Structure 1
Amino acid sequence: MTKAASAAAKDLAAAGVVGVHLTWADNNGIPRSRVVPIGGLADAAVRGVGATSLFAVFDSHDAITYAHSGLGTPSGDIRLVPVMERLRRLAGQPALAWAPVRQLAADGSPWSYCQRSVLERQVAEAAKRGLEFRAGYELEFSVAPAGSEDVVSAPGHRGPAYSPHALIGLDEFIAALLHDFAANGLQIGQLHAEYGVAQLELSLAATDPVSAADDQLLARQTIHAAAHAHGLVASFAPMIGLEAAGNGWHLHTSVRRKGRNLLAGDGVPEGDGAAYVGGLLRDLPALTAITAPSVPSTMRLRPGFFAGAYAFWGVENREAPLRYIPGTALLGVEHANVELKTSDASANPYLALAVVLAAGMAGIKDSAVLPEPIAEDPGGWSEGERNTAGVLPLPASPSEQDTALLANPRVSGALGDELLGAFRAVRASDATWAAERAPEEIVAAHLWRY
C-alpha cells in the first residue's frame, strides 16, 4: 500500500497536484473533508488522518448534539483512511485530487459509525446469498448566478423545461460538466433541463453499490466546482421554494443471481424480482426515514410533484415512489430496474444504499408479496379510495419518520445500534431547530447546505 500510494502521490505531484480532499458524507448527507498535502498522502493511506468522532452527531446546521450516549462528550478521535483505488485528480480543480475515506477507530479497528462500512457489510451479505447488485443515481439540482440569495428569484436558466433553449446560456457550464465528469472517471447517461425552476438533471451510469455511493460524492464535487468556475452556484436541496418542484436524487437498483437480472419479467417483475420490489414496498416508510431524512425532505414529498407521497409502486409511473422500469426489445431485459424516488441529497448515499439492499434482500428471503401496480396518481383519489387500495401516505414529519424507523428492525438493524442512535439524535436535533421556524426559513437555511 505504501509503495503504491507513494507512486500515486509522485505522479500527481508531477502533474501539479498539491493536495487531496479526503471526503466522506455525514448523517445529513453533507460532504465533509480533510485536505492533506500531496506529500502526506502515502502516510495518510497507511495511518489515516485524525478527525473528531463528533462528526457522527453534527446536525444539518453544524450544531453538535450530545443526545446520543455513545458520543456524549467532546472527547474522542478517529482516523480517516483514503480508499486509494478511488483516488482521482479533480479536472475542475486541477491543483487538487479527491478520494473517499473509511472511518476507523483511533487504533485502526472498525468504527461502528462508518457509513461506508455499513454498505460494505450489506454487499458482503449479498455475496453470501449469491446476489449481486447494481445501482445508479439520477441527480437533480438547481443553478443560480453566484451571490444569489435563492434560486426562485434569480434562476440560472428560465426554461422551458426539457428544452435545448434553456441551456444556451449555460453552454460553457454544460461543456465543463461533460468534460470534467469524463476526466474524473464518471460516466453520464444524459443531461437535460428539468421541470423545476432553473433545474438540471443528469444520470450516472450504474455500477456496484459502493462505487455508486462514491460516485455520488464525486459528482457533487465536480458539479460545484464547474458551477463556481462559470459564475454559478448549484443547490441540491430537496426544496428550493415552497411552491417549486424540489430536487430528488433518484436511486436506481437491480439485483442479479448468476448473472441473471431478477427484475427482468414480462412487463412486471416476477419471482424473486417481485419479492425484491415487494420488500422495498413493505419497508418503504422506514426506508424513507434514511433516504429522504431532512425536514425539507418531508416537505418535498407532495402529490403531483413526481416525488412519491404515498406508499405504492407502478410500472413507469412517475408519481410512484417505487417506479419499475422494465426491459424492452430495444433496451434488452437486463435493463430492468426499480427507481426509488423518495431519495434526495440529504441522505447519506452509503446508508441509503445499505438500507435499500437490506430491505430488498429481506423481501427475497421472505418471498414478500408484491400487490398489483398502480398506474394513476393516488393523490387525486379520495381518502376512502386510497384506504380501499391499501395506499397509505408516507411519513410526513420527523416524528413520523422516527416512529417508522424504530418499528422496522430490518431497516434500523442494517445501521447497527450505535449508528442508529447517532442518526436519530441528529434527526431529533434538526427537528427541534425546525420546530421554532417558519417553512420559508427552513427552506432558506437548507438551500446551500448540499
Structure 2
Amino acid sequence: MTKAASAAAKDLAAAGVSGVHLAWADNNGIPRSRIVPIAGLANAATRGVGVTSLFAVFDSHDAITFAHTGLATPSGDVRLVPVLERLRRLAGQPALAWAPGRQITADGSPWPYCQRGVLERQVAIAAERGLEFRAGYELEFAVAPAGSPGIVGSPGHPGPAYSPHALVPLDGFIASLLHDFAANGLDLGQLHAEYGLAQLELSLPATDPVSAADDQLLARQTIHAAAHAHGLVVSFAPMVGLGTAGNGWHLHTSVRRKGRNLLAGDGVPGGDGAAYLAGLLRDLPALTAVTAPSVPSTLRMRPGYFAGAYAFWGVENREAPLRYVPGSDLLGDAHANVELKTSDASANPYLALAAVLAAGMAGIEDALVAPEPIGTDPGGWTEGDRESRGVVRLPENPAAQDAALLASPRVAGALGNELLGAFRAVRASDAAWAADRSTEEVIAAHLWRY
C-alpha cells in the first residue's frame, strides 16, 4: 500500500497536485473531508488521519448531540484512511485530488460507525448468498447565481422544464460538467433541465454498490466546483421552496444471480425478482427513514410531486415510490431495475444502499410475493380505496420515521446497534431543532448544507 501510495503521490505532484481530499459523508448525508498534503498521502494510506469520533453524532446544523450512549463524551479519535483505488485528480480543482475515506479504530480494526463499512458488510452478505447488486443514482439539484440567498426569487435558469433553451444561459457550466465528469473518471448517462424551479438532473450509470456511493460523493464535489467556476451555486437540498418540486436523488438497483438479472420479466418481475421488490415494499417506511431522513425530506414527499407519498409500487409509474423499470427488446434484460424515489441528498449514500440491499435480500430469503402493481396515483383515491389495496401513507414526520425504523429488524439490523443509536440521536437532534421553527426557516437552513 505504501509503495502504491508513494507512486500515486509522485505522479499527482508532477501534475501540479498539492493536496488530497479524504472524503466521507456523515449521518446527515453531508460530505466532510480532511485535506492532506500530497507528500503525506503515503503516510495517510498506512496510518490514516486522526478525526474525532463525534462526527457520527453531528446533526444537520453542525451541533453535536451526546444523546447516544456509545458516543456520549468529547473523548475519542478514529483514523480516516484513503481508499487509494478510488483516488482521482479533480479537474475543476486542479491543485487537489480526491479519495473516499474509510474510518477505522486507532488499532486498525473496523469501526462500527463507518458508513462505508456498513455497506461493504451488506455486499459481502450478498456475495455469500450468490447475489450481485448494481446501483446507480439520478441527481437533482437547483442552480442560482452565487451570493443568492435562495433559489426562489433568483433562479439560475428560466425554464421551461426539459427545454434546451433553459440551458443556454448555463452553457459554460454545462460544458464544464461534461468535461470534468469525464476527467474525474465519472461516467455520465445524461443531463437535462428538470421539472422543478431552476432544476437540473444528471444520471450516473449503474455499477457495484460501494462504487455507486463513492461516485455520488465525487459527483457532488465535481458539480459544486464547476458551478463555482461559473459564478453559480447549486443546492441538492430536498426542498428549495414551498410550492415547487424538491430535489430527489433517485436510487436505481438491480440484483443478479450467476449473471442473470432477477428483475427481468415479461412486463413485471417474477420469482426472486418479485420477492426482491416485495422486500423493498415491506420495509419501505423504514427505508425512507434512512434514504430520506431529514425534516425537509418529509416536506418533499407530497402527493402529486413524483416524490413518493404512499407505499406502493408500479410499472413505470412516476408517482410510485418504487418504480419498476422493465427491460425490453431494445434495451435488453440487463436494463430492468427498481427506482426508489423516496431518496434525497440528506441520506448518507452508503447507509441508503445498505438498507436497500438488506431489505431486498430479506424479501428474497422470505420468498415474499409482491402485490399487484398500481398504475395510477393513490393520492386521488378515497381513504377506503387505499385501505382496500393496502396503500398507506409513508412517514410524514421524524417521530413516524423513527418508529418505522425501529419496527424493521431488517433495516435497523443492517445499520448495526452502534450506528443505529448514533443515527437516531442525530435525527432526534434535528427534529428538536426544527420543532419551534417555521417551514420556511427549516427549508432555508438546509438549502446549502449538501
1:152 is displaced (CA, Å) by 1.1
Instruction: Using structure 2 for the length normalisation, give the TM-score.
Output: 1.00
Partner of 2:343: 343
Partner of 2:328: 328
1:215 is displaced (CA, Å) by 0.1
1:384 is displaced (CA, Å) by 1.2
Paired residue secondary structure (1:339):
strand
Partner of 1:234: 234
Deviations, residues 382-409 of structure 1 (Å, cap 9, x unaligned): 1111111110000000000000000110
Identical aligned pairs, as a percentage? Answer: 83
1:221 is displaced (CA, Å) by 0.1
Correspondence list, 1:338-377, <5 A? 338-377=338-377
Partner of 2:136: 136
Deviations, residues 323-358 of structure 1 (Å, cap 9, x unaligned): 000001110111100000000000000000000000
Partner of 1:102: 102
Partner of 1:70: 70
Separation in 1, partners of 2:281, 2:408: 13
Partner of 1:17: 17
Deviations, residues 353-385 of structure 1 (Å, cap 9, x unaligned): 000000000000001110000000001111111
1:126 is displaced (CA, Å) by 0.3
Partner of 2:175: 175
Instruction: Using structure 1 for the length normalisation, give the TM-score.
Output: 1.00
Q: Say yes or no: does 1:290 pair with 2:290.
A: yes
Partner of 1:277: 277
Correspondence list, 1:166-245, <5 A? 166-245=166-245
Q: Say yes or no: does 1:38 pair with 2:38.
A: yes
Separation in 2, partners of 1:392, 1:314: 15
What RMSD, in angstroms, separates the aligned Cα atoms of the two structures?
0.4
Separation in 2, partners of 1:265, 1:96: 46
Given residue 325 of structure 2, which amino acid in structure 1 is its aligned partner?
I
Paired residue secondary structure (1:317):
coil
Paired residue secondary structure (1:374):
coil
1:164 is displaced (CA, Å) by 0.1
Paired residue secondary structure (2:159):
coil
Paired residue secondary structure (1:189):
coil
Partner of 1:416: 416
Deviations, residues 119-139 of structure 1 (Å, cap 9, x unaligned): 000000000000000000000
Deviations, residues 286-320 of structure 1 (Å, cap 9, x unaligned): 00000000000000000000000000000000000
Separation in 2, partners of 1:147, 1:401: 34
Separation in 1, partners of 2:177, 2:396: 35
Q: Report the count of equivalent residues.
A: 450
Runs of 4+ in 1 over 2 A off after TM superposition: none
Partner of 1:86: 86
Partner of 1:59: 59
Q: Say yes or no: does 1:428 pair with 2:448.
A: no
Correspondence list, 1:306-321, <5 A? 306-321=306-321
Deviations, residues 180-223 of structure 1 (Å, cap 9, x unaligned): 00000110110000000000000001000000000000000000
Given residue 351 of structure 2, which amino acid in structure 1 is its aligned partner?
L
Partner of 2:159: 159
Separation in 1, partners of 2:206, 2:334: 12
Separation in 2, partners of 1:148, 1:367: 51
Deviations, residues 255-276 of structure 1 (Å, cap 9, x unaligned): 0000000000000000000000
Given residue 82 of structure 1, which amino acid in structure 2 is its aligned partner?
P
Partner of 2:250: 250
Deviations, residues 34-69 of structure 1 (Å, cap 9, x unaligned): 000000000000000000000000000000000000
Q: Which structure 2 segments of 5+ residues have no match? A: none
Deviations, residues 142-176 of structure 1 (Å, cap 9, x unaligned): 00000000001100001000000000000010000
Given residue 191 of structure 2, which amino acid in structure 1 is its aligned partner?
L
Given residue 143 of structure 1, which amino acid in structure 2 is its aligned partner?
V
